[in-house]
Amino acid sequence: MTPETMQRKDLLGIAELSPAEIELILDTAESFREVGERAIKKVPTLRGRTVINLFFEASTRTRSSFEIAEKRLSADNVNFSTSGSALEKGESLIDTALNLQAMAPDLVVIRHGHPGVPHMLAKRIKAGVINAGDGAHEHPTQALLDAYTIRRHKGRLAGLKVAIIGDIEHSRVVRSNVHLLTKMGARVTVGGPRTLMPVAMAAMGVEVAYTLEDALRDADVIMMLRVQLERQGRMSFPSVREYFQLFGLTTARLAAAKEDVIIMHPGPMNRGVEIASEVADGPYSVILEQVAHGVSVRMAVLYLLSGSYGEAA
């Protein structure tokens, strides 16, 4: 049963959301998708509210998605990114938070390379904080837009078999998705090289596979993760070529999955590393749709977090 309201100041992760709250966000996103189909893609709902986008990590995709979502809700937004700002000049996170607080924003969207940073911020400022990605910890709006996309194609989440493949160790997308999909009754298998698989992954309620075929078997949904071998630095994988040989998704290897499988990717893609172009551009891919749904989902999150609920921040 969908609750009527969301009584939260912040969206820091999927781990703390109930299935009912997740349903609420996805259902609300539906209304905002409709707004995105109008000639005038704007509603006055957050008129006069200020949203600050605080991106300590470079990001074109997520940031522009949030920006568009904010503008479509008629909010005023301000962007802080790392280059050339105080963020780069070594200002401590605490000072940044206090300065932000002094500007009295209504919502802050933050992406940072270190886990726990949105949580630190949320404790110190009155504004609602939306986690746009904190290190390898969580990326809640990504998991929500992924779930929205799956639901539109499959009509449900419960009972689906979802395979997530790639650099599991360093991926926040995987963690958020595992939380969400398991909460909503899907079965998740994560697959990837042993050197990029966290030791205790099974404790998160997923099956672990070390070959592509095992991971993909009977999958309804395949999520490919971006592999950044240059980021590994810790001797995890010898070369891009070997990675593609073992784990690259090609049309031939798709055979193990279900006939009506859909292929997803949080972007940006490394064509020829984790996914072959033929698959990325092929009939099973819903990758571009994910991007479109990102705006609707983020509008829903911004809308739901901007109520007042009598709680002193």
List residues near other proteins by CB under 8 A: 2, 4-7, 15, 24, 28, 30-32, 34-35, 38-40, 42-45, 92-94, 112, 114-117, 119-120, 123, 134-138, 172, 175, 198-201, 203-204, 234, 303-310
Give the nearer residue to other proteins in terms of CB position, either 162 or 305: 305
Give the nearer residue to other proteins in terms of CB position, either 181 or 279: 181
Give the nearer residue to other proteins in terms of CB position, either 188 or 254: 188
Cα(79)–Cα(17) distance, integer angstroms:
27
Cα(240)–Cα(131) distance, integer angstroms:
31
Cα(172)–Cα(263) distance, integer angstroms:
19
One-character DSSP codes across 7-43 = --S-B--STT--HHHHHHHHHHHHHHHHHTTSSS---
Give the nearer residue to other proteins in terms of CB position, either 249 or 298: 298
Give the nearer residue to other proteins in terms of CB position, either 72 or 265: 72
